[in-house]
Amino acid sequence: MACVTDLAKRLYAKSLSGVKYPMQQAPPTTPEHSPLLGMLPNQIKELCASQGQAEFRAKQLYQWIYHHAADSYDAMSNLPKAWRDQLASGHQIGRVAPHRVDISSDGTKKYLFATSPGRFVESAWIPENQRATLCLSTQVGCKMGCVFCATGRQGFQSQLTAGQIVNQYLSLPERESITNIVYMGMGEPFDNPEAVFDSLALFTDPLGIGLSPHKITVSTIGIIPVMKEFLVRSDCNLAISIHSPFEDERRALMPIQHVYPIAELVQVLKENPLAASRKLSFEYIMFAGLNDSLGHARELVRLINGLRAQVNLIHYHSVPSLSLQGSDDQTMRDFQDLLKQKGIMTTIRKSRGLDIQAACGLLSTKELVKTTLEDF
Ligand code: SF4
């Protein structure tokens, strides 16, 4: 079996063969001006020790960055001025405000964050009643090549650092309203594992940002080795993009199936059940005439039988130049009814931010690169 890196390389090479991408220089970075955002507590401690500071200063600095969301050294009022100056001469904080926002008629906002000159990711803020969900990105583009996905069609440009992932939360104007975070934006989170694990640690550390792990969901198409690590290393929720219970069909939709078959993934989940406090869900985008029959529903029931999991049915939103169409509402309801009759909690997810291309599967910064560069 090929390893996922081989798959990624093959997918990346394949994507590069068909599409032209703007060639951008990586931003000039020097270690001495590296950002503080993204550093873990032990890294902050080492930095403080190297600058002759007492250990309690490390905790203060860490809390300023993550807990108080300070975006300037001036705000760090209980740190000695001389040390703040020393820090400022060597390190930027690393906070980056969004470059642009699009606002949907349903209240959803899509933010564009620059990660380096010419490279952008999108994050969606989705308010609903008393809660608000942030859908964040982990990569600029994606290597995984799922045929229905706008991000996949953009190809892969770069990984985000843990700091760039956390920045999408800390620099969001609506940060204080956020009750839930989903790693469902651009990119495959488990293809950028270290940055994702570090960002989860920063989000959930009570001394740091301090969010409950049960309010955070990481979504994957199923990179099994990293998923196994996630089951052990994290208390956050897990969502699996399944989209078809049949191997051939899934392979045609999602090349990852060549490397990590869904049946193998489900078996891993059955052998390593999540703690009762963690949620497991299967995401299922419904394509008209392709994966929306009752036969599919029955096979899905058979596949996930025995798992404590919810299924979320998702409307497919057409991507230009693709012939795939979304299932109609009645077909989705029939599919849902069958799953419910078999005892599986099943929702039909509301589409949000459709008019600003923020809905599921539509995030892409390919077209924005050119126009937004002109704004810089
Ligand atoms: Fe990548 Fe997810 Fe899109 Fe697949 S669906 S191409 S993993 S962003």
pLDDT digits (tens, 9 = 90+) for 39-54: 999 999 999 999 999 9
Known catalytic membership, residue 55:
no
137 and 195 Cβ atoms separated by less than 8 Å: no
Residue that wins the pLDDT comparison between 318 and 50: 50
* Ligand 1 binding pocket includes 221 (Cβ within 6 Å): yes
Across all residues in the chain, what is the average pLDDT?
88
pLDDT of residue 59: 97
Q: What is the pLDDT of residue 118?
A: 86
Structure tokens at 239: 């969502």
pLDDT at residue number 108: 95
Between 22 and 13, the higher pLDDT residue:
13
What are the tens digits of pLDDT across the range 241-282? 999 999 999 999 999 999 999 999 999 999 999 999 999 999
Q: How confident is the model at residue 28 (pLDDT cuts 50, 70, 90)?
A: very low
Confidence of residue 2 (pLDDT cuts 50, 70, 90): very low
pLDDT digits (tens, 9 = 90+) for 159-191: 999 999 999 999 999 999 999 999 999 999 999
Of the two residues 371 and 47, the one the predictor is more confident about is 47
Helix intervals (H) in 193-349 = 193-204, 224-233, 247-253, 256-259, 262-271, 294-304, 329-341
User: Percentage of the chain surpassing pLDDT 90?
Assistant: 80
**pLDDT for position 321:** 78
Asked if residue 149 has its Cβ within 6 Å of ligand 1, the reply is yes
Q: Which residue is catalytic, options 32, 46, 122, 299?
A: 122
d(CA 151, ligand 1 centre) in Å? 6
pLDDT digits (tens, 9 = 90+) for 61-119: 999 999 999 999 999 999 999 999 999 999 999 999 999 999 999 999 999 999 988 89
Q: Is 227 in the pocket of ligand 1 (CB under 6 A)?
A: no
CA 144 to ligand 1 center in whole angstroms: 6
pLDDT higher than 80, residue 30:
no
pTM of the model: 0.89
pLDDT of residue 352: 83
Residue of the CA atom closest to atom 8 of ligand 1: 187
pLDDT tens digits along 122-163? 999 999 999 999 999 999 999 999 999 988 888 999 999 999
Q: For residue 72, what are the contacts with CB-CB under 8 A and spacing of at least 6?
A: 93
| Cα separation, 352 vs 241, whole angstroms | 18
How far apart (Å, rounded) are the C-alpha atoms in residues 365 and 362? Answer: 10
Q: What are phi and psi of 193, to 5 degrees?
A: -65, -45
